[in-house]
């Protein structure tokens, strides 16, 4: 396996939105309907590209994959799933904030 090939293929989660809804469905294992529901509650935020199409970032893949795991492993229904994802995102935001504050506080 050539190393150079890998270099180009590593994609950061921050990368610009580039996946279509179908690609996101394929990568996450969620149906397009399930993904649309996540978009509607703002858990996944697509960006519009120049031609008005919706594009998803690699970060969305992570959210969608997590959604699929939680739904399968906990037998969640749609509203339970949205609640779990919302709370997990909130925990992540708080952890990031905590981290930032810890950096500034002395020990």
Binding site for another protein (CB under 8 A): 1, 3, 6-7, 9-15, 26-27, 29, 58, 61-62, 65-66, 68-74, 84, 88, 96, 99-100, 102-107
| Shortest CB 6 distance to another protein, Å | 6
Q: Which is nearer to another protein, 52 or 103 (CB)?
A: 103
Tokens of 8: 């180009």
- Nearer to another protein by Cβ, of 26 and 47: the residue is 26
Cβ neighbours of 67 (radius 10 Å): 25
Question: Using alpha carbons only, how large is the chain's radius of gyration in Å?
Answer: 16
Smallest distance from another protein to CB 32, Å: 16
Give the residue with the Cβ less far from another protein, 50 or 103: 103
Q: How far is the CB of 15 from another protein (least distance, A)?
A: 8
Residue 54 to residue 18: CA distance in whole angstroms: 9
Which helix (H) or strand (E) segment is 48 a member of? strand 47-48
């Amino acid at each position: 396996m050539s190393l150079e090939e890998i270099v180009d293929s590593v994609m950061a989660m921050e990368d610009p939105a580039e996946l279509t809804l179908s690609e996101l469905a394929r990568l996450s294992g969620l149906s397009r309907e399930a993904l649309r529901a996540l978009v509607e509650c703002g858990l996944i935020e697509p960006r519009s590209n120049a031609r008005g199409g919706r594009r998803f970032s690699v970060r969305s893949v992570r959210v969608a994959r997590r959604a699929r795991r939680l739904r399968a492993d906990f037998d969640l229904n749609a509203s339970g799933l949205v609640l779990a994802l919302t709370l997990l995102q909130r925990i992540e935001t708080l952890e990031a904030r905590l981290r930032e504050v810890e950096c500034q506080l002395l020990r």
